[in-house]
A and B are shown apart, each in its own frame.
Chain A
Amino acid sequence: MNTKNENEKRKITIRFFLYILAGAAMGACLSMAGFFVFAKLSLTRLLTDFYAVLLVCSPWIFLFFCLTAMILSYVFLALAKKQLANRDDWNEEDDDAFYRRTDRLLSFSVGISNLGMITLFMIFALVTIAVLGKYTNVILFFVCALAFLLSMIFLAFLQRKSIEQVRILNPEKKGDALDLHFKKKWLASSDEQERLATYAASYKAFSSLGIVFFVLYALLVLMIPFFNIGFLPFLCVGCMWLVPNAVYFWEASMEKPRQ
């Protein structure tokens, strides 16, 4: 048994060093290829030009995303509401498929409005950079600012409506989407199976963050020779990488009763 464990340990260690070596080799190759490609095709210039075009178009991109997020989120909510309205009598045994379908539509509505909000925050930053760099005019910036405000309010109210529909499916659930303590109240009114599903989804999100931050960090390192990116992007990625890990470490090390 011990020999088997030792062999397994040795295999894992060798695999670890192979990964490190392969990663370093890949990084070196990518850097060299990057140098070659960037020099040969003047990609730095091309990407800088692309960024300038992106800044010029940013208000229109922003308005497009505003509309898309609002329409998509509304459509999914409307579909779910229609399904619920057509259902006047509950026959739970046959209704699992119906329940899952409606629940998925509502999840899509909430998910799209959430992702939409984050994307809008990001693109609005681009619009702000564009107006400060005089890539776009001030009137267009104020139109975007107004659209930003209105779409945020609209998406937040859509989330509230979606949550209200979820509560028709799950009457025991508590919490208002506009409440700052919504997540806490929602989780408190969830049963053990729902909490387990939430924890599993959170762990998956946390695990995927590790990969995303690693890739982002590697991309930033590869960009150093070609763009004047400064230290700020590294600081942002580093902080975002540190915080979830610190919270995870803290929570895991605390001895709490787990119900």
Chain B
Amino acid sequence: MPLQNHLKEHRARLGLNQQQLGSLVGASRQTISLIERGDYSPSVTLALKIARVCRVSVETLFEYEEEDK
């Protein structure tokens, strides 16, 4: 999975649980959980919404790492 994220740390910093964060960004708890586990790459819109709630830039939250070819 080339997309790494630090969502869990930022969510913990804000004291939100997955359900609360999900409600704030219009996603389900399950989707937040999948993003945190790296099993789902969010759309640009959702990534921006999450970043806005976490008050950080998208690049701080998500990192793209090139896969070895």
Q: Do chains A and B interact in one complex?
A: yes
Chain A contact residues, CB within 8 Å of chain B: 90, 92-93, 96, 99, 170, 172, 190-194
**Complex alpha-carbon distance, A133 and B31, angstroms:** 55
Measured between beta carbons, the chain A residues less than 8 angstroms from B29 are 92, 99, 170
Given A192-B43, A192-B46, A193-B40, A92:B28 Cβ within 8 A: no
**Complex alpha-carbon distance, A90 and B31, angstroms:** 16
Pairs across A and B, CB under 8 Å, 12 listed: A96-B37, A99-B29, A170-B28, A172-B23, A191-B46, A192-B27, A192-B42, A192-B46, A193-B30, A193-B34, A194-B28, A194-B31
Closest Cβ of chain B: how far from A167's Cβ, in Å? 11
Q: Counting CB contacts under 8 A, is B5 at the interface?
A: no
Measured between beta carbons, the chain A residues less than 8 angstroms from B28 are 170, 172, 190-191, 193-194
Task: Among A90, A92, A191, A192, point to the contact of B33 (Cβ < 8 A).
Answer: A92
Given A92-B33, A96-B33, A191:B18 Cβ within 8 A: no
Measured between beta carbons, the chain B residues less than 8 angstroms from A96 are 33, 37
Q: Are A92 and B17 interface neighbours, CB within 8 A? A: yes
**Complex alpha-carbon distance, A258 and B46, angstroms:** 15
Q: Counting CB contacts under 8 A, is B57 at the interface?
A: no
How many A-B residue pairs have C-beta atoms within 8 angstroms? Tell me.
41
Closest Cβ of chain B: how far from A130's Cβ, in Å? 47
Main secondary structure of the interface of B (DSSP, over half): helix
Chain B contact residues, CB within 8 Å of chain A: 17-19, 22-23, 26-31, 33-34, 37, 40, 42-43, 45-46
**Complex alpha-carbon distance, A192 and B50, angstroms:** 14
Main secondary structure of the interface of A (DSSP, over half): helix
Q: Are A191 and B40 interface neighbours, CB within 8 A? A: no
**Complex alpha-carbon distance, A92 and B46, angstroms:** 20
Of chain A, the residue at the smallest CB distance from B23 is A172
Measured between beta carbons, the chain B residues less than 8 angstroms from A193 are 27-28, 30-31, 34, 40, 42
Of B19, B23, B30, B33, the most chain A CB neighbours within 10 A belong to B30
Closest Cβ of chain A: how far from B51's Cβ, in Å? 16
Measured between beta carbons, the chain A residues less than 8 angstroms from B34 are 193
**Complex alpha-carbon distance, A170 and B33, angstroms:** 13
**Complex alpha-carbon distance, A92 and B32, angstroms:** 10
Q: Are B19 and A92 interface neighbours, CB within 8 A? A: yes
Task: Among B27, B30, B40, point to the contact of A99 (Cβ < 8 A).
Answer: B30
Of chain B, the residue at the smallest CB distance from A171 is B19
**Complex alpha-carbon distance, A191 and B42, angstroms:** 11
Closest Cβ of chain B: how far from A147's Cβ, in Å? 38
